[in-house]
Amino acid sequence: MKQVVQNYKSGELSVLDVPVPGCKPGGVLVRSAFSLISTGTELMKVSEAGMSMLGKARSRPDQVAKVVQSVAVNGLPATYRKVMGKLDSYTPLGYSLCGVVEQVGAGIDDVKVGDLVACAGNEHALHAEVNWVPRNLYVPVPDGLAPRHAAFGTVGSIALQGVRQGEPQLGEVALVIGLGLIGQLVVQLLAAAGVRVVGADPDPVRCELAERLGAVACGDPGSAAVENAVAELTGGHGVDQVYLAAGGGSNQPVELAARLARDRGRVVDIGKCRLDLPWNAYYEKELDVRFSRSYGPGRYDPEYELDGRDYPIGYVRWTERRNLACFLDLAARGRVDVEPLISRIADFEDAVETYRQLKDGELKAVAVLFRYPGEAGAGEAQAPAVAVPAVRRGTAAAPARPSRSPVRLAFVGAGNYATSMLLPHLARREGVELSAVVTTTALSAANAQRKFGFARATTDLDAVLGDASVDAVFVVTRHSSHAELTRRALLAGKTVFVEKPLALTEDELAGVLAAVEESGNDRLQVGFNRRFAPLLREAKARFGARTGPASLRYLVNAGRLQPGSWYLQQGTEGSRFAGEGGHFVDTASWLLGADPVSVYAVAPSGNEDLQIVLRYPDGSTATLSYVTAGAPGFPKETLDLVADGKVLKLDDFVRASVYGSKRWVSSRLPKARDKGQSAELASFVRAVRTGGPMPVPLESLVATTAATLAVQAALVGGAPVTLERSL
Q: What is the mean pLDDT of residues 419-446?
A: 91
pLDDT at residue 514 is higher than 50: yes
**Least confident window among 42-56, 81-95, 343-357, 608-622:** 42-56
pLDDT at residue 398 is higher than 60: no
pLDDT at residue 393 is higher than 90: no
Which residue type, as a one-letter code, is found at position 392?
Answer: R
**Alpha carbon distances (Å) from 45 to 120, 454, 457, 683, 694:** 18, 29, 27, 43, 47
Give the closest residue to 5 by CA, choosing from 40, 45, 38: 45
Query: Which tens digit of pLDDT belongs to each residue from 223-266?
Result: 999 999 999 999 999 999 999 999 888 999 999 999 999 999 99
Give the closest residue to 370 by CA, choosing from 588, 148, 162: 148
**Least confident window among 117-121, 308-312, 395-399, 625-629:** 395-399
Return the pLDDT at 571. 74
**Confidence band (pLDDT; 50, 70, 90) for 5?**
very high
Task: Name the percent of the chain lying above pLDDT 90.
Answer: 76
- Determine the Cα–Cα distance for residues 328 and 153; give it in Å rounded to an integer: 6
More confident residue, 687 or 85: 687
Return the pLDDT at 379. 43
- Determine the Cα–Cα distance for residues 470 and 455; give it in Å rounded to an integer: 12
CB 579 within 8 A of CB 567: yes
Cis peptide before 142, with omega less than 30 degrees from 0?
A: no
- Determine the Cα–Cα distance for residues 427 and 462; give it in Å rounded to an integer: 24
Return the pLDDT at 313. 97
Characterize the bridge pairing of strands 472-475 and 407-412.
parallel
Q: Which residues contact 33 (CB under 8 A, 6 or more apart)?
A: 97, 98, 99, 100, 116, 147, 148, 151, 371, 372, 375, 378
Return the pLDDT at 382. 40
3-state SS class at 607 = coil
- Determine the Cα–Cα distance for residues 701 and 704; give it in Å rounded to an integer: 5
Q: Is the dihedral of CA 63, 66, 70, 71 positive or negative?
A: positive
The secondary structure of 142-159, three-state, reads CCCCCHHHHCCHHHHHHH
Return the pLDDT at 443. 86
Which residue type, as a one-letter code, is found at position 658?
Answer: V
**Confidence band (pLDDT; 50, 70, 90) for 377?**
very low
Give the closest residue to 365 by CA, choosing from 37, 696, 11: 37
Q: Is 142 exposed, middle or buried (0-12, 13-18, 19+ CB in 10 A)?
A: middle
CB 432 within 8 A of CB 685: yes
Could you say which DSSP state residue 547 is in?
S
**Least confident window among 202-206, 400-404, 648-652, 675-679:** 400-404
Q: What is the mean pLDDT of residues 605-615?
A: 86
Characterize the bridge pairing of strands 217-219 and 196-200.
parallel
Ranked by mean pLDDT, the top range of 47-56, 345-354, 597-606 is 345-354
Q: What is the mean pLDDT of residues 513-519?
A: 97
Return the pLDDT at 51. 57
CB 526 within 8 A of CB 498: yes
- Determine the Cα–Cα distance for residues 694 and 702; give it in Å rounded to an integer: 14
Count of CA atoms in the C-beta half-sphere (13 A) of 466: 4
Q: Is the pTM of this model over 0.85?
A: no
Return the pLDDT at 53. 53
- Determine the Cα–Cα distance for residues 49 and 60; give it in Å rounded to an integer: 11
In what order do the strands lie in the sheet containing 90-92? 13-17, 2-7, 90-92
**Confidence band (pLDDT; 50, 70, 90) for 52?**
low
More confident residue, 46 or 276: 276
Q: Which residues contact 232 (CB under 8 A, 6 or more apart)?
A: none
Q: What is the CA radius of gyration of the chain?
A: 30
Return the pLDDT at 444. 86
Q: What distance, in Å, lies between the first and last C-alpha atoms of the chain?
A: 52
Ranked by mean pLDDT, the top range of 7-16, 41-50, 481-490, 623-632 is 481-490
Task: Tell me the pLDDT of the chain averaged across its residues.
Answer: 90
Return the pLDDT at 54. 57
CB 688 within 8 A of CB 407: yes
CB 676 within 8 A of CB 531: yes
CA dihedral 345, 348, 350, 352 (to 10 degrees): 110
Count of CA atoms in the C-beta half-sphere (13 A) of 468: 1
Return the pLDDT at 66. 61
More confident residue, 560 or 132: 132
In Å, how far from its chain's centre is CA 294? 18
Return the pLDDT at 36. 97
Cis peptide before 695, with omega less than 30 degrees from 0?
A: no
- Determine the Cα–Cα distance for residues 455 and 473; give it in Å rounded to an integer: 14
Task: Name the percent of the chain lying above pLDDT 70.
Answer: 90
Helix (H) or strand (E) holding 227: helix 224-234
Counted residue by residue, the chain has a size of 727
In Å, how far from its chain's centre is CA 118? 23
**Confidence band (pLDDT; 50, 70, 90) for 557?**
very high
CB 66 within 8 A of CB 99: no
Return the pLDDT at 396. 53
Q: Which residues contact 183 (CB under 8 A, 6 or more apart)?
A: 176, 177, 199, 201, 206, 210, 243, 245, 246
pLDDT at residue 560 is higher than 60: yes
Query: Which tens digit of pLDDT belongs to each residue from 138-181?
Result: 999 999 999 999 999 999 999 999 999 999 999 999 999 999 99
CB 495 within 8 A of CB 466: no
Q: What is the mean pLDDT of residues 477-482?
A: 94
Helix (H) or strand (E) holding 661: none
- Determine the Cα–Cα distance for residues 333 and 145; give it in Å rounded to an integer: 9
